[in-house]
Structure 1
């Protein structure tokens, strides 16, 4: 908020603008130039973190002189634009205004107090004032952000652990954990799901008795509730809420049924009949898929795998008896309507993204396999467009060396066990019995990188229905299914559609140097860290991932997360990869053993025993600011040549009239209130959803000799541009 003082005083209280002033002058080509960089902020620290915060292209920047003349530029791919007054502008002093490219979704990022504009890594306001006289050049960096991008460092992670209910004589104890929490940096941890909680590393949030088998996870950062969704997996029982259950784990540690999604499927588990073989065909077709909560904590979204609808619930309720609404997820044109299998969710910039696959089950032809992402607008309640539609049969992916059926591509969904498998190169293999990898794609999860790239977790349905080390049954030979998921990245193509890394849409980081020499040269992928350490398992992702945009690495669920010299088989857990080049995180202990992972569960062997992954981020902090200036022409507009007010006291009050923060304007007239940069307000006093008042009410400032002696507030809210006016009004 900008407050301007005139001889009447004008003061400008702006939430992220900066101002200064200059008198009118003729055009002067001797002035220097201003380089403006616009980045997307994520951590609210008032600095440009170059690895985490990419430049924003296509942002409009306006340079204005004291006579009101302007020139306009647009930021390039790296987020920068150079503005040169030349013969069009003059006077030496200028106002820079950076336009918000997406109002209501993006907001001005946190800025820092500064006495000069020397350091471009210190973030400026979206309205800044520069002196380019005498050929001086200035470089500044400003930012926008979405509060949903924020997370605290080393936030807790939660993983869903899935436990077997077969063989029936020895079922999983009801005390075995289903939700496990651990720190974001908990690498090298060996913590099986049936071990006692370790206060230093992981702890149980819920048990088999609380939830049964769950997959999708979502976190309401406003009320700190964690939600989990029931999941259909052969040999792994539902919990007390059945196939449509959504469970809530509250901050007090209690877990209970929160809602029951209707029409989620009626097939029951029968662990004592052929080890639940009859449940095999409904995997991926009944119960629930991914679950997400909007960043404002108001809406919970979940995919019903049975009726293929997106359900929307009021996430603020203690219990949800019924959904607010449900929406059919449109078939994108699969070979048959029954082949459309939506499942994955992601939320970014106020939109909900729903991912699904064309399963090719009706034709058995893997050429019909596709991965599709559609966009849902919560405001209109409509699916608006498709942003990705990619074939899954025409690229080679990692398989499993050493067995006849290696699974080095995707295969059509079935209900049986294949007797033969044609690999990517067209070679037909007899699969026999026992160990097999036969990846059937499902769209498990979606997250977005800060630069807008989409990170996709494609899971493998086959191990969820075929199981681990199961005996021969009529029509289903002895089987040990190996998981074959894939961690993918999709980048925008020339037509603004997302293109998978495997199709050349993103950088190909799959070099032998990046994965110990085991990379198949025919495979393209952004994340070589998704490959196993000893070459046999060339894809280890299990379909869950979580992105904290304030961290340089990203965790995903995987098999064999830990490797030791004598025992490299470690069940299910997490692996961390570098967000820039996709490589696996190096050994954190420096002992030469790659254990940059965490072991969480040993259920189901390598047939997938871990579900979704969620990072528990705090709410984003707030900042109010930023400038007081002298409005010498009393027009209520921040002109480039008008001087700042230095040394004035500004106070912040809550809705009850309590003073919660005090600031004094610096030599550039700036002030800020926040808990993370200036740190003059306590976080607990500055929550979202409240009303705050900024006042210049220090009596000493207005007395004889005070910094505001003889000044009064200028005319507020002048013109049609709220970024450059004065927001202060006389009160009392």
Structure 2
């Protein structure tokens, strides 16, 4: 090994020679292995390789550089997220290369704020975006690199929140309740799980929920449902358009804003238990509410005027919309007046707005349709055509055996024509939209009949009996193909994994009989897991109850005997089998941060490259994370590649000052080249390099490069950020 002073002289001569010597002939470099690079989109923030929940990312660019010959080439990653490189045409590389992921679709630019995909966590299985490989001697290598949208992050067992919709003349008081995602079983009488966080007096009846994780505020929107009451609203404001906000830190609930023109019909419990209100669900008040990926904007569907409203979600209260409300297009419906929007979904900066063609005016079931549009908040415009436009007159399982549960046209406003004696009369409302990892959609359909009726109340028809309703909602999959087209489940491009007439099976009473379309239309989909949660009737064992059921998103299966959780019951103000819950929302934490990367064997040049032994990391070095007071937060040892990482699992926080201490006394010298005989041979590289990705950041104690300890200062970035440039170099002073 050349000492540092001698190395600098050799380096200068080599550069001079490079300028004077003729170019090397492009003869094949023999005896080198093949390099495979896989690029993924990541969701779990663990640094592990898990193709089960990671999706291949096409269109990225890999740069490979031979630090010996100075040659550099770019390689496009294929549609399957993979590129295999063979080095037969490389000349004079000596098998050692620097490999970088330099570009990818939707790459986040911190200067302009455009894009959303950033470097993901590294660790066991996933590599950082800068690597060094040695392909000499026919050695093959595989690198797995990943990017992520930090806004996709959710912890392993997040809290779920839903809205209990309480019957006005019954004793229930809770509206918003929370519970862990892994909850299962019946909870009748339990006062802590689900945990109430808001009351009827504070919010009245609500459906749509949206969570701003940056300040832990939960938004809830008023909803038109028979035999409920609206909330307090504000001074002089119509409660039909009220949006409330609940601060999870303080527990306080207050009015956030009032959406204008949301309807005027009041409840009247004294008139045959609010019977006249039965014509209003789906036509007045608010539908779904959702929040932008960055938490800055709140989106609201006004079901009275059919428009999408946008509010500044960063404010404590909003006096009015952030921009002019935009009509959600009705062009898919015949006639246009039968368009009924309700559901929302948001992912990667795109808003999805959906609804149904109700067929109310024609009473022709062939005109029932599900329609989904995309909306671009940056332009304030909807797409030129819907991405989903599907008839809903297909066969469905019974909502109440043995009567078929096929969707029916919406009932007309003339209550003298309201169906009598029907325990089930399913009418579709598209209540929620979730977006899968690959861009496919999961649509939650709510049965409007459950909002027009109830548990042991008079039929809305003036001549009707007292009865109890059974709802027949649904959950449907729409597959997105790589060409950007969408295909309804059951088609050739979206085959159902278990066959039959449903993708999501097990939406039944636990016996598998009686009620076989039990969904209530609200969904929650954690991208880092393989299940989806849906609101449900009778989800566990207790009849006339409401709660949540969980499906496997790959197989579509739900174990009806195990995957359920009771939330609301007939005994605490619930509606029995008639829509007793509103929206379902994940209360995810802010995305975590990660720092670290590599301790390498420097050849004396002061920056990382792949010449000589610089592809080698230094294993076994102790790396200690300390806070600004010197308190030890975590301690790691570098792996065989010389890499180390700290993140939220070690107590790392965003926007915080830390010290990273490197201790060479534990280095595994047996894994280093044999010219290094003792730890005293290893000296710290000075922080002289200009490129933070390749220089050394560790300063030896007292400036003595022979000292056992070197220290780097670092300030972590905002939530979701990754800093893999915190490196330390060591050279052999022999």
- Once the two structures are TM-superposed, the CA of residue 487 in structure 1 deviates from its matched residue by 0.7
After superposition, the Cα gap between the structure-2 partners of 1:328 and 1:654, relative to the gap in structure 1 and judged at 3 Å, is: farther
After superposition, the Cα gap between the structure-2 partners of 1:609 and 1:711, relative to the gap in structure 1 and judged at 3 Å, is: closer
**Are residues 1:601 and 2:602 paired?**
no
- Do the aligned residues in 2 keep the contact of 1:339 with 1:360 (CA within 8 Å)? yes
Q: Distance in 2 between matches of 1:472 and 1:586?
A: 31
Any idea what the Cα deviations from partners look like across 1:217-275, whole Å, max 9, x if unmatched?
11111111122111001111111111111112212222222221122111111111232
- Do the aligned residues in 2 keep the contact of 1:7 with 1:632 (CA within 8 Å)? no
Specify the alignment match of 1:582 in structure 2: 556
Q: Distance in 1 between matches of 2:628 and 2:295?
A: 22
After superposition, the Cα gap between the structure-2 partners of 1:482 and 1:504, relative to the gap in structure 1 and judged at 3 Å, is: farther
Q: Distance in 2 between matches of 1:60 and 1:162?
A: 51
Q: Distance in 2 between matches of 1:617 and 1:143?
A: 21
Specify the alignment match of 2:213 in structure 1: 221
**Are residues 1:489 and 2:477 paired?**
yes
Query: After alignment, is 317-326 or 281-290 more displaced?
Result: 317-326
Specify the alignment match of 1:390 in structure 2: 389
Specify the alignment match of 2:713 in structure 1: none
Specify the alignment match of 1:428 in structure 2: none
1:160-559 map, 5 Å: 160-165=163-168, 171-173=169-171, 176-191=173-188, 195=189, 197-198=191-192, 201-241=193-233, 242-251=239-248, 252-333=250-331, 334-384=333-383, 386=385, 388-400=387-399, 402=401, 406-412=404-410, 414-415=412-413, 433-471=420-458, 477-478=464-465, 480-493=468-481, 495-511=483-499, 521=500, 523=501, 525-532=502-509, 533-559=511-537
Q: Distance in 2 between matches of 1:489 and 1:549?
A: 16
**Are residues 1:674 and 2:647 paired?**
yes
- Once the two structures are TM-superposed, the CA of residue 655 in structure 1 deviates from its matched residue by 11
Number of aligned residue pairs: 645
**Are residues 1:111 and 2:122 paired?**
yes
Q: Distance in 1 between matches of 2:141 and 2:693?
A: 29
- Once the two structures are TM-superposed, the CA of residue 110 in structure 1 deviates from its matched residue by 0.5
Specify the alignment match of 1:83 in structure 2: 85
Q: Distance in 2 between matches of 1:628 and 1:26?
A: 34
After superposition, the Cα gap between the structure-2 partners of 1:226 and 1:395, relative to the gap in structure 1 and judged at 3 Å, is: same
**Are residues 1:102 and 2:106 paired?**
yes
Query: After alignment, is 121-130 or 63-72 more displaced?
Result: 63-72
- Do the aligned residues in 2 keep the contact of 1:636 with 1:717 (CA within 8 Å)? no
- Once the two structures are TM-superposed, the CA of residue 399 in structure 1 deviates from its matched residue by 2.5
- Do the aligned residues in 1 keep the contact of 2:36 with 2:143 (CA within 8 Å)? yes
After superposition, the Cα gap between the structure-2 partners of 1:473 and 1:85, relative to the gap in structure 1 and judged at 3 Å, is: closer
- Once the two structures are TM-superposed, the CA of residue 365 in structure 1 deviates from its matched residue by 2.4
Specify the alignment match of 1:33 in structure 2: 34
Specify the alignment match of 1:149 in structure 2: 152
- What SS does structure 2 have at the residue aligned with 1:86? coil
Q: Distance in 1 between matches of 2:166 and 2:327?
A: 30
Specify the alignment match of 2:161 in structure 1: 158
Q: Distance in 2 between matches of 1:473 and 1:42?
A: 47
Computed over aligned residues only, the root mean square deviation of the Cα atoms, in angstroms, reads 3.9
After superposition, the Cα gap between the structure-2 partners of 1:661 and 1:574, relative to the gap in structure 1 and judged at 3 Å, is: closer
Q: Distance in 2 between matches of 1:231 and 1:504?
A: 38
- Do the aligned residues in 2 keep the contact of 1:441 with 1:460 (CA within 8 Å)? yes
The gaps in structure 1 that reach 5 residues or longer are 11-22, 113-120, 166-170, 421-430, 512-520, 589-594
Specify the alignment match of 1:93 in structure 2: 96
- Do the aligned residues in 2 keep the contact of 1:561 with 1:570 (CA within 8 Å)? no
- Do the aligned residues in 2 keep the contact of 1:716 with 1:727 (CA within 8 Å)? no
- Do the aligned residues in 1 keep the contact of 2:26 with 2:90 (CA within 8 Å)? no
- What SS does structure 1 have at the residue aligned with 2:201? helix
- Do the aligned residues in 2 keep the contact of 1:73 with 1:82 (CA within 8 Å)? no
Any idea what the Cα deviations from partners look like across 1:569-605, whole Å, max 9, x if unmatched?
24211111112211114655xxxxxx64334333222
Query: After alignment, is 349-358 or 663-672 more displaced?
Result: 663-672
- Once the two structures are TM-superposed, the CA of residue 160 in structure 1 deviates from its matched residue by 0.9
Query: After alignment, is 666-675 or 135-144 more displaced?
Result: 666-675
- Once the two structures are TM-superposed, the CA of residue 359 in structure 1 deviates from its matched residue by 2.1
Specify the alignment match of 1:53 in structure 2: 54
Specify the alignment match of 1:713 in structure 2: 688
Q: Distance in 2 between matches of 1:611 and 1:725?
A: 43
Q: Distance in 2 between matches of 1:655 and 1:134?
A: 47
After superposition, the Cα gap between the structure-2 partners of 1:391 and 1:417, relative to the gap in structure 1 and judged at 3 Å, is: farther
Q: Distance in 1 between matches of 2:624 and 2:221?
A: 46
- What SS does structure 2 have at the residue aligned with 1:543? strand
1:596-635 map, 5 Å: 596-602=564-570, 603-627=574-598
Whichever of the two has the greater Rg, that structure is 2
- Do the aligned residues in 2 keep the contact of 1:92 with 1:133 (CA within 8 Å)? yes
Q: Distance in 2 between matches of 1:636 and 1:375?
A: 48
After superposition, the Cα gap between the structure-2 partners of 1:709 and 1:38, relative to the gap in structure 1 and judged at 3 Å, is: closer
After superposition, the Cα gap between the structure-2 partners of 1:483 and 1:713, relative to the gap in structure 1 and judged at 3 Å, is: same
- Do the aligned residues in 2 keep the contact of 1:178 with 1:204 (CA within 8 Å)? yes
After superposition, the Cα gap between the structure-2 partners of 1:24 and 1:202, relative to the gap in structure 1 and judged at 3 Å, is: farther
Q: Distance in 1 between matches of 2:664 and 2:615?
A: 22
Give the alignment's TM-score, normalised by structure 1: 0.78
- What SS does structure 2 have at the residue aligned with 1:158? strand
- Do the aligned residues in 2 keep the contact of 1:217 with 1:227 (CA within 8 Å)? yes
After superposition, the Cα gap between the structure-2 partners of 1:24 and 1:309, relative to the gap in structure 1 and judged at 3 Å, is: farther
The gaps in structure 2 that reach 5 residues or longer are 12-23, 109-115, 234-238, 666-678, 695-721, 728-734
- What SS does structure 2 have at the residue aligned with 1:316? coil
- Do the aligned residues in 2 keep the contact of 1:372 with 1:386 (CA within 8 Å)? no
- Once the two structures are TM-superposed, the CA of residue 462 in structure 1 deviates from its matched residue by 2.2
Any idea what the Cα deviations from partners look like across 1:26-70, whole Å, max 9, x if unmatched?
632432212222222222111123433233344444444343242
After superposition, the Cα gap between the structure-2 partners of 1:417 and 1:469, relative to the gap in structure 1 and judged at 3 Å, is: farther
